Every structure is written in C-alpha cells, then in structure tokens.
C-alpha cells in the first residue's frame, strides 16, 4: 500500500510540475505530418505550426507515464521510421555553435559527438564522445547538412530498452514536406524560438500523440483545455 501511494504521489508530481509543454498531435498513426502548440502553464505561446514526423507515422514509445494503448496499435522500434507516441522530458539543446545562452543544458555538436543506435552496445541511446571501441551503428551529431544545426533532445526510452528506439530529437527540417526517420522536424526559425523559450527550471516536456489520445491527455493535463488541437472534431 505504501509503495502504491508513493508511486501515485511521484506520478502526480511529474504531471503537475511541468510548466512548459510542447504538444504535437497527428490526425492518425500513419500520417507523416502533425501540428505543434506550446504552453506555459495554461497559456498558449506562439502560433500553431505544422511539423514533420516519421515517414511511417507514429508508434507507441517509452515515456514518463503509461498512456492507454490498444493491442493492435503499433509500437516504436529501432529503424521503423516511426516517431514515438508518449510524454517525454525535454533535457538538452544541441547545435553546431560552440557556445550558447539557452536556459537549458547545451551540447556542442562537435565532430566527435555521436548518438548510439546500436541496440547491443552498452551506450545504446546515449549521446557521447566517440569511444575507442566504436559502436557498430551510430550517427554523428555534427552533420554535413543543416538538420542538426539546432535541436532538442527528447528523453525517449531513457532506460535503453533494446530495439525500442534511440536518438529522438526535435530538429531542423530537411524541407517543408520532408518526413523524418523518427524525429520531429520544423523550420530553423521555429526551432530557435522554441529553444530560447525552453527553461530547465520549468520542467519542459513533449506530449506527442495521435488525435485518438486527445481526451486522455486533457484529463491528465487540464491546463491544456484551451488547445485547439485537443478539441474534438
């Protein structure tokens, strides 16, 4: 009984201590585009924008809390080109610039910084400097294009469950209509605006869901009642 009570208390503290929420909603599990709103408490900030998600839509990820999911709905797996569904902490900003003045911890995407997507590596789903023993599979955080010029780390699958997905970010879009390999992308100007707005002291989170989960999210986060995206059609 005591253990259950502590779990409920911890759950409530997480739910209601999040003052900044990035909300992303797709119409269904199969679409590769979605819309984004930002909230500071119960106040919406910025205009609603269109974003790109996984090429193959959405799959249930591993986040901070368990949302209701049906047995036939897809899960997120490594390499499936699906963006994860769930409630996730936003932990770091990263980018090509060496220094920053964000209100979040910052990772400089140097030429040696990588994110490990090898499920069998002990560093799976970690952003690290290149080790002496290179993982079999990884991606460089300093790319030859602009997509990681600025980005936000999404704490998906933080316990590194094998093959359940890694290296999930909000980052710069390849083009206006280009889907992703599992991340969420938008214009550089929008990612800059959100990055400078985020504040570690306000416990920022990402809620990324299909429209079918809107009612559940409204019950868990009543401060989002003014969201246009969560309203029933």
| Environment class of 8 (CB within 10 Å of its CB; exposed 0-12, middle 13-18, buried 19+) | exposed
Task: List residues bridging with 209 in a β-sheet.
Answer: 25
pTM: 0.92
Q: Mind listing the pLDDT tens digit of every residue in the chain (233 residues)?
A: 444 434 444 444 455 456 999 999 999 999 999 999 999 999 999 999 999 999 999 999 999 999 999 999 999 999 999 999 999 999 999 999 998 899 999 999 999 999 999 999 999 999 999 999 999 999 999 999 999 999 999 999 999 999 999 999 999 999 999 999 999 999 999 999 999 999 999 999 999 999 999 999 999 999 999 999 999 76
Domain contains 200: yes
Domain contains 229: no
Domain contains 232: no
Give the pLDDT score at 18: 63
The rounded distance, in Å, linking the Cα atoms of 119 and 154 is: 18
Domain contains 231: no
Residue pair 132/228 in contact (Cβ under 8 Å)? The answer is no
Sheet with 138-140: list strands edge to edge.
127-129, 113-116, 138-140
Domain contains 152: yes
Containing structural domain, residue 155: 2-224
Number of domains in the chain: 1
Give the pLDDT score at 12: 47
Return the ∠ at Cα 87 (arms to 82 and 93), rounded to 5°: 80
Give the pLDDT score at 3: 45
Task: List residues bridging with 18 in a β-sheet.
Answer: none
Residue pair 143/104 in contact (Cβ under 8 Å)? The answer is no
Domain contains 29: yes
Domain contains 233: no
Domain contains 230: no
Give the pLDDT score at 107: 97
Give the pLDDT score at 219: 96
Give the pLDDT score at 177: 94
């Amino acid at each position: 009984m005591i253990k259950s009570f502590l779990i409920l208390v911890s759950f409530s503290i997480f739910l209601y201590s999040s003052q900044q929420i990035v909300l992303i909603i797709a119409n269904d599990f199969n679409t590769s585009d979605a819309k984004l709103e930002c909230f500071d408490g119960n106040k919406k900030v910025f205009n609603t924008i269109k974003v790109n998600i996984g090429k193959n839509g959405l799959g249930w990820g591993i986040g901070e809390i368990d949302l209701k999911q049906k047995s036939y709905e897809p899960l997120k797996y490594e390499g499936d080109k699906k963006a994860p569904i769930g409630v996730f902490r936003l932990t770091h900003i990263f980018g090509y610039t060496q220094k920053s003045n964000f209100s979040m911890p910052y990772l400089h995407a140097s030429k040696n910084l990588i994110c490990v997507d090898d499920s069998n590596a002990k560093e799976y789903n970690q952003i690290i400097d290149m080790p002496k023993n290179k993982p079999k599979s990884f991606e460089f955080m300093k790319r030859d294009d602009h997509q990681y010029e600025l980005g936000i780390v999404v704490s998906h699958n933080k316990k590194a469950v094998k093959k359940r997905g890694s290296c999930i970010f909000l980052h710069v879009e390849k083009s206006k209509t280009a889907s992703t390999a599992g991340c969420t992308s938008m214009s550089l100007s929008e990612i800059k605006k959100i990055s400078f707005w985020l504040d570690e002291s306000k416990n920022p989170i990402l809620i990324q869901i299909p429209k079918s989960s809107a009612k559940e999210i409204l019950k868990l986060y009543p401060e989002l009642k003014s969201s246009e995206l969560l309203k029933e059609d």
